Amino acid sequence: MALKSARAEEAQPDAEALAGLNPAAVARVDTSAVTLGGFSGDTEDIAIRLPFLQISSGMGKLEGFVKGSVVVGSESLIAGPGEPVMLTILSAQSFWKEYLSGAEFDPDVIPRSYATKADVLAAGGTTEWVDGKPPTFKQAGVMRVLVAKPGKVEGGIFGVPVGGTMYAVSQWGADKSAAQEVLPVIKRDMAFALRERGLLAGVYEMRTRVLKFANGHSAWVPAIKLVSYHTDAEVAEIKALFAGAAPAKETESVAIPM
DSSP string computed for 83-117? --EEEEEEEEEEEEEE---GGG--TTSPPPEESSH
What b/e string do you get for 109-118 counting C-beta neighbours within 10 Å, with b at 16 or more? eeeeebeeee
User: Which range is least confidently modeled, 10-19, 159-168, 214-223?
Assistant: 10-19
Q: What percent of the chain has pLDDT over 90?
A: 62
Question: Higher model confidence: residue 234 or residue 38?
Answer: 234
> Distance from first CA to last CA of the chain, Å, rounded?
41
* Residue % of the chain over a pLDDT of 70: 83
For position 216, what pLDDT does the model report? 87
Query: What is the C-alpha to C-alpha distance for residues 23 and 170, in angstroms, rounded to an integer?
Result: 45
Write out pLDDT tens, residues 50-77: 999 999 998 888 999 999 999 999 889 9
Residue range 135-156: average pLDDT? 92
pTM for the model = 0.80
pLDDT at 244 > cutoff 50: yes
**Mean pLDDT across 195-219:** 95
Question: What is the pLDDT at residue 219?
Answer: 94
